[in-house]
Amino acid sequence: MKSQFAKSGRIPPHPDSRFALELRNLNVRFNGLTVLEDLSIQVESGLRVAVVGPNGAGKSTLFNVLAGLLAPASGEVHIHGHLPAEYLCLAYVPQSSHVDWNFPVSVQDVVMMGRAGQLGLLRWPGSKDAAQVKQSLDQVQLSKFARRQISELSGGQKQRMLLARALAQEANLLLLDEPLAGLDLPSQEQILSILAGLKAQGITVLFATHDLELAGDHFDRILLLNRKLIAYGAQKEVLTVENLSLAYGGHMQVVETKEGKVWLGDIGGHHDHDEEGRHG
Amino acid sequence: MGSWLLEPLAYEFMQRGLVVAVLVGVVCALVGCYIVLRGMAFLGDALSHAILPGLAVGYMASAGNPTSLFWWALGAAILSSVTISALSRDGRIKQDTAIGIVFAGMFALGIALISTMRSYAVDLSHFLFGNVLGVTSADVRLTAGVSLLVLLLIVAFYKEFLVLSFDAHLAKTLRLPARWLEILLSVLTAVAIVVSLQTVGVSLVVALLVTPAATAYLLTKKLRNMMVLAAAIAAASGIVGLYTSYYFNVASGAAIVLACTALFIAVWIAQKLRSSLRRQPVS
């Protein structure tokens, strides 16, 4: 069903959907391998969803499909009722290792890039765009660093800048790929509290992570993935021994301790082809 | 002002040469900023060689009329850049591999065509090594028109090229026509190369694309400043190169490129010295 990604030249009238995201029987193949199989899910607007699963589970692939960077082999994807490649109000925050931090731009230049889609071709940013950039920087507490060269930022500041760029896109669906990787604890807390603040704006967040504890503590829903959908729901329903051993298989250990059950997944380690991620 | 500065200006060929060298330097430097930032120097070098069959066919078709050669060369460059983009599109063939295949194939075709001709040596050597002092006033007009067009497009698509160069995935999620912008940028590169042929020739044109932009990159951390500086460096190198060529009887294209290179080396060494001085402990 590649045809749904073809440029139709006009955006079809979209059904008024309460779902930020609807997938029906999604199959994605990459380099001849099935990376995602028969994935069906409905995510309501305004939820914060942690996407968890082992390396190679297809988290980055799922994000690439949602962002319209990769076409599925079959199945349907609707984002607020639109086809991915036609939906503008979506922001993909890449892993910060994918960014060239020596590029000659300042923090506000990068955040202004988020305006390019709304502006359209051949138009220069105006005062409305400048205001949007300022507001986005305020929201991630980076206003003081607006004129700073991006190479001079700390790890946490870099990630917050990418988040501000996503906010400047006026996105209502945020895809965050391992945004806390390599950050110190205070920076992690800061980003999580910024994300919590987005709930009031009705922004839906999909957050790929390896950290099951984080997923349980800070998110409304957990999407447990390993090529197929293992489970989707609240923490209690999803993080069961049965589901986790289905997702992590032999790599998963459940250890009984005084404090309760501890799950040990295959965190870090080898990287499968699809977690190399951002092809295109 | 010493009369040595004014003396060469008495000659019309020097006047024309200076105008063309400055125009071409500015155009190459601006396009070159994107080439340097995106790590595409190989594409620049490849496109400059891939125009050879265009020159050969143009020469056969029009007996060496420079305006006609210009269009044939541009056609070959655009054909090459579109072919490279098409070959590497689905990701099975990496872009630098596609560049290598197209570049070598086109260059070989050019050599094969030229080897079948009899009296090519003199006229085509101008395009291999450049001869900016031989430009006619028609060449100056053509160069000026094309340069202006490239400048306009670079200003008009500044925002889009910035996004594309910084983060190609962002360009796609912003629903910008990333593929078309990519092609436009490589066509602009092709135009910059072809317009520089008479100045520095096929074999040296990559220096005009890369060296002033790289020098500017060392000096500033803002893209706009980088573009202005690169243009200024290229223009200055064009002027210094032509005066050197006039007084020391050096090939003009080589003199211009050497001026660019000397500036780059000077800036690079100055920065190394400065950063090692800064690192020295104050005791």
The tens digit of pLDDT for each residue in A158-184 reads 999 999 999 999 988 999 999 998 899
CB contact under 8 A, B176 and A117: yes
Contacts of A108 in chain B (CB under 8 A): none
CB contact under 8 A, B168 and A151: no
Compute the mean pLDDT over every residue in chain A, rounded to the nearest whole number: 83
**A32 in contact with B, Cβ within 8 Å:** no
Residue A220, CA distances (Å) to A46, A80, A240, B101, B264 in order:
10, 19, 16, 52, 55
**Chain B residue with Cα closest to A65:** B173
CB contact under 8 A, B221 and A149: yes
pLDDT the model gives residue A40: 94
List, for residues A180-200, the tens digit of each pLDDT value: 988 999 999 999 999 988 888
B256 touches B242 (CB < 8 A): yes
Contacts of A67 in chain B (CB under 8 A): 169, 172-173
Q: Please state, as a whole number, how many other Cβ atoms lie within 10 Å of the Cβ of residue B219.
A: 14
pLDDT the model gives residue A261: 63
List, for residues B24-64, the tens digit of each pLDDT value: 999 999 999 999 999 989 999 999 999 989 988 888 887 76
Q: Please state, as a whole number, how many other Cβ atoms lie within 10 Å of the Cβ of residue A268.
A: 9
What is the rounded CA–CA span in Å between residue B147 and residue B149? 5
Q: What percent of chain A has pLDDT over 70?
A: 83
Q: Residue B143 above 50 pLDDT?
A: yes
Most A-contacting residue of B152, B154, B173 (CB-CB within 10 A), to test interface = B173
Compute the mean pLDDT over every residue in chain B, rounded to the nearest whole number: 89
pLDDT the model gives residue A2: 38
List, for residues A95-144, the tens digit of each pLDDT value: 887 889 999 999 999 999 999 988 888 888 989 999 999 999 999 999 99
pLDDT the model gives residue B155: 93
CB contact under 8 A, B174 and A68: no
Query: In angstroms, what separates the C-alpha of A102 from chain B's closest C-alpha?
Result: 8
CB contact under 8 A, B166 and A98: no
**A1 in contact with B, Cβ within 8 Å:** no
Give which of B51, B109, B42 is closest to B76, Cα–Cα: B51
Quickly state the pLDDT bin for B105 (edges 50, 70, 90). very high
Q: How many CA atoms lie within 13 A of A79 on its CB side?
A: 27
Q: Which of A92, A99, A151 sits opposite B173 (nearest CB)?
A: A92
pLDDT the model gives residue A278: 39
pLDDT the model gives residue A252: 61
Q: How many CB pairs under 8 A join A and B?
A: 87
CB contact under 8 A, A67 and B176: no
Q: Which of B37, B169, B171 sits opposite A103 (nearest CB)?
A: B37
Contacts of A68 in chain B (CB under 8 A): 172-173, 175
**Chain A residue with Cα closest to B168:** A280
What is the rounded CA–CA span in Å between residue B199 and residue A78? 54
The single residue listed with the structure tokens 């020295």 is B280
What is the rounded CA–CA span in Å between residue A13 and residue A2? 20
CB contact under 8 A, A121 and B176: yes
pLDDT the model gives residue B282: 54
Q: Residue A10 above 60 pLDDT?
A: no
Q: Residue B207 above 90 pLDDT?
A: yes
**A103 in contact with B, Cβ within 8 Å:** yes
Give which of B187, B78, B195 is closest to B145, Cα–Cα: B195
